[in-house]
Structure 1
Amino acid sequence: QIDFLRVFCGMSVKEAVFWLLDFAGYRRIENPVKQPLVHQVSQKQAEERKPFVLPEPAGDNSYLISYLNQERGISRAVIDLFLKDGLIYESRHYHNVVFKGNDKNGVTRFASMRGVFDKQGKPFKCDVTGNDKNYGFNVVNENSTELVVFEAAIDLMSYVDIFTDYESNKLALGMLADAPLETFLREHPQITSIRFCLDGDEPGRKAAAELMRKYYELGYEVEDCPPPAGYKDYNEWLVAAKLNLNRMNKRADEPVRA
């Protein structure tokens, strides 16, 4: 029916869907006041923002590599690539992993930190003081029209490891609001399609549905790509996959008993 209305009535996909819903008796409730999904950074907040200073780098990245590889299951090849591109580094104090969010000119506007020493199961996470939350951790390819969106930087890196996807643009929101997404799309107008790889929990599913609706109505091709059922996020999926692979390899190495 949608294709028929598009071909013979000249409707867009959106117009055709709404027409069919109206025809079937579903009444749309128009909201006269557009409620923004994103928590925009107000002018007052921008004025009150403290100076943005990146943490001093450590002499090497040994703690970072050990944590991301051993604890988070991310391969050395992926870790080395992000280090080489200057998107991550290890801070001198406390040896936190620093994730940098750059603008279209390569200037770092945002940075978040993740501790490598979890105390009593409690992870250390925080944003660097003075950062601009209209930006997020991202990977840019100006020749790609596709953008893949995540909640967390480690999920973004895990996705690269799982699918060996080095071609698409990628963005970690660092939250469930879409201010970084709006900024990225404005700075990279070649983007035509967005894949949302948000978490599989209730907040992630709700946010994915809202974001897909919003950006579909803005004219983007959208796709919901959560982690498989049973996994909270892409990193949990990666860690489980690596663990299962290690078990299989261990069994294969065991001698066959007569």
Structure 2
Amino acid sequence: MSKSSRPMPFTEEQMKQVFDTNIIDFAVQNGFQIEKGDRYTVHVKNSGGLYLFNHGRGYYCFSTQTKGNIVDFAKEYLGASDFKSAAELILGCSAYEGTTSLVPNIEKGPKGELVLPPKDKSFDRTIAYLTHTRGIDKEIVYAMIAEGKVYGARTEKNGYTFHNCAFVGYDKTGKPRYCALRAPSSDSKFRQDIENSDKTYGFCMEGRSNRVYEFEAPIDVMSHATLCKLHGIGWREDHRVAEGCLSDKALYRYLQHHPEIEEIVFCYDNDVDGKDAKGQPHNHGQIQAEISAETFADLGYKTFIQTPNTKDFNQDLMAYRGLLTQEAMPQELER
């Protein structure tokens, strides 16, 4: 009995177009910013260690040690669920110009106005992701939502609807100046800053003490606050700032508006498996923490480094919640 073959969703010409589309042009068309890398690559800004090859055929990420072609890129960084949706995203863009196109260096103009992505009808995905997948305390998540610093965003692109977590930073007048998106799924690596975001306005949790903790990502900020709460420490007491990258730009601005701060604790990632562009071991987060601690000590601040036991404070939180669950199990069995 013969089996009927499944029809191919794309023609041969379309498949050629997919793999002949230059990955650098495709990334730029979808809002990624590039900067000079080395002889063979360009670096994707605000991505950690994501590099795109100059020949336009693929990418490599040093922080995750993953590589792939343009279809893999669409799935990993643009939220495409499978090959078909990835190919449709690529075919729907205007980046197809052959295999040797390179994006020219463009002079930076002044930033325009930041336009926040529309809010989703429901924040259920965002709340479930942060509380269940990431283990962040519900009180903290709802507090950030009430302050407008976290919400569920809904965006449309090429006929597809994307649901993401939005993390917002404000200026002293309450105007949004920075917004980062992250897919509400542990299976997706999609993260992106909204156009015209200003990283000097980080995701912040204002405190009452003279101490500020600095992190790379908003999820680590809320995870650290959760760990404090679990240990009986008031999570509203100290200040917290997320940079959205390995930088101190948001911290500099935050300190200008909080002269009461005297102590800075640098809580960057513990990249024990990190490598530099040459493939050599390089703990990006802790090296930057040491540089930053020395820099701000010279400015008169008391500086400290708090290194996560795992890669970051969210992984520390999840590990701690796992221990609490294990400790609770014998008690349940005794009942």
Q: Do both proteins adopt the same fold according to a TM-score greater than 0.5, normalized to the shorter chain? A: yes
Tell me the TM-score normalized by structure 1: 0.76
CA contact (8 A) 2:114 2:176 kept: no
Please say if 1:110 is aligned against 2:178: yes
Please say if 1:151 is aligned against 2:221: no
Q: CA deviation at 1:250?
A: 2.5
- Which moved further from structure 2: 149-158 or 109-118? 109-118
Q: Which has more strand, going by share of residues?
A: 2
CA contact (8 A) 2:206 2:240 kept: yes
Equivalences for residues 185-196 of structure 1 within 5 A? 185-196=255-266
Q: Which has more helix, going by share of residues?
A: 1
Match of 1:238 among 313, 317, 320: 317
* Aligned residue type for 2:312: D
Aligned length: 208
Equivalences for residues 81-100 of structure 1 within 5 A? 81-93=143-155, 94-100=162-168
Equivalences for residues 1-258 of structure 1 within 5 A? 45=108, 47-93=109-155, 94-118=162-186, 121-141=187-207, 143-164=208-229, 165-201=235-271, 202-228=283-309, 231-255=310-334
SS of aligned partner of 2:154: coil
SS of aligned partner of 2:220: helix
Q: CA deviation at 1:57?
A: 0.7
The residue number in structure 1 matching 2:84 is: none
Q: Structure 1 CA distance, aligned partners of 2:174 and 2:303? A: 27
Q: CA deviation at 1:252?
A: 2.1
Moved over 4 A (4+): none
Q: Structure 1 CA distance, aligned partners of 2:194 and 2:322? A: 33
* Aligned residue type for 2:236: Y
Q: Percent identity?
A: 30
Higher relative contact order (CA 8 A, sep 6+): 1
Q: CA deviation at 1:122?
A: 3.5
The residue number in structure 2 matching 1:35 is: none
In the TM superposition, what whole-angstrom CA distance separates every residue of 1:19-39 from its partner, at most 9, and x where no partner exists?
xxxxxxxxxxxxxxxxxxxx9
* Aligned residue type for 1:108: P
Q: CA deviation at 1:50?
A: 4.1
Q: CA deviation at 1:145?
A: 1.9
SS of aligned partner of 1:251: helix
Tell me the TM-score normalized by structure 2: 0.59
* Aligned residue type for 1:253: E
CA contact (8 A) 2:264 2:303 kept: yes
In the TM superposition, what whole-angstrom CA distance separates every residue of 1:23-65 from its partner, at most 9, and x where no partner exists?
xxxxxxxxxxxxxxxx9xxxx64x3434310011112211111
The gaps in structure 2 that reach 5 residues or longer are 1-45, 47-106, 156-161, 230-234, 272-282
* Aligned residue type for 2:192: C
